[in-house]
Chain A
Amino acid sequence: MSEDFQDLQRLLRLKRHERPPEGYLESFAGEFQRRQREEMLRRSSRSLFIERLGTFIAGFGAPRWAYAAGAAYAAAMIALFLHMQGGAVLGGGGGGEAEVAAPAPVMAPGAGQPVLQPVNLSGPAQHPFLIEILADPDAPRAEQAVPVPVRTDQRRVIREF
């Protein structure tokens, strides 16, 4: 070890004599507690919750990639759930209308004539056509439905359709 190096170390060791003001270290612990309490009051409950959650999860000792995979899975599940919810809402909007819509006339087997099917009028009648029918006292009701004679030219159109 060179003499220069020993002299340098001797000089550097003198820095040990640089000391904080008297009483500083004795009061440091008290100051630390005071700042901790202040910080607790200042921080939002959300950030405290996130920190607690982080500490709780870290307690399991799982590797970091497991947390990332878990978070990605949870995000995918939430996205899937929201997507399905959105589809149900759209489907539900059309459902009300479908409930009151009259079924298409079906051909009676062998008769070659359409047969009127009973219409469910218990649901909300929102369709303007139904409102018009319901408002007409002379309009035929489901239970009063009678076969309507179909002309030959109309039969051809129905067959082509």
Chain B
Amino acid sequence: MRKPDEDRELVARAQGGDTTAFDDLVRKHSGRLYGLVYHMTSNHEDANDLLQDIFAKAYRSLKRFRGNSAFYTWIYSIAVNMTLNFLKKRNRQRNRVSLDDMDAGVQNDPDYIEATAKSDPVREANISELQERLNAAMMQISEDHRAVVTMFDIQGMPHAQIAEVLGVSEGTVRSRLFYAHRQLQVFLQDFLTP
């Protein structure tokens, strides 16, 4: 987990008009923010466009950032809100899926090895089938639930930080996770241990 004031100097320089400092912030946070948006949209092109918009909005609003929270938390809040708004609009249209490839390292991941050892369906399914099923299950749950699952289960953020990003209590985060997990267990029943 990042220290709260890790980005303070870069933020202060960017607020003073140093565009290279903001470029450094973009480089530093684009990876995790891309992951957040991608896992919520299941679409690479949408994630790319949204990420551009998120950084553009953060750049325009940077003067208003007073450092009451970490820059990381602040820009995460912008990203979650913009993605949720985008998903509300997109759901009225057609749901488009454009998945990134899984990297080769997945075969050596202890989680994958254990999952294949314990579950025949996981072992029998190839990687891309497993990926499609996981994404289909994620798209079945609500956007709010998907946001907490992405941050907690996929990105490993603690409850307190998720609560700060979403502007809700930790209890709400735990409650959303509980219901999201229950739904996902139903959608992925055949991949889980009987």
Count, chain B residues at interface, CB 8 A: 51
Q: A5-B181, A12-B153, A13-B111 are in contact. Are A18 and B64 (CB under 8 A)?
A: no
A147 to chain B, nearest CB (A): 82
Main secondary structure of the interface of B (DSSP, over half): helix
Count, chain A residues at interface, CB 8 A: 32
A66 to chain B, nearest CB (A): 15
Question: Do residues B192 and A7 form an inter-chain contact, with CB atoms below 8 A?
Answer: yes
Tell me which residues from 97 to 113 in chain B have a Cβ below 8 Å from any Cβ of chain A. Answer: 99-103, 105-106, 109, 111-112
24 CB contacts below 8 A, A to B, read A3-B193, A4-B185, A7-B193, A8-B185, A10-B115, A11-B134, A11-B191, A12-B153, A13-B154, A14-B102, A14-B115, A14-B130, A15-B39, A15-B131, A15-B138, A17-B102, A18-B103, A19-B103, A20-B48, A20-B100, A25-B30, A25-B34, A29-B23, A32-B23
B-side interface residues toward A, CB under 8 Å? 23, 26-27, 30-31, 34-35, 38-39, 44, 47-48, 51-52, 55-56, 59-60, 63-64, 99-103, 105-106, 109, 111-112, 114-115, 118-119, 122, 130-131, 134-135, 138, 149, 153-155, 181, 184-185, 188, 191-193
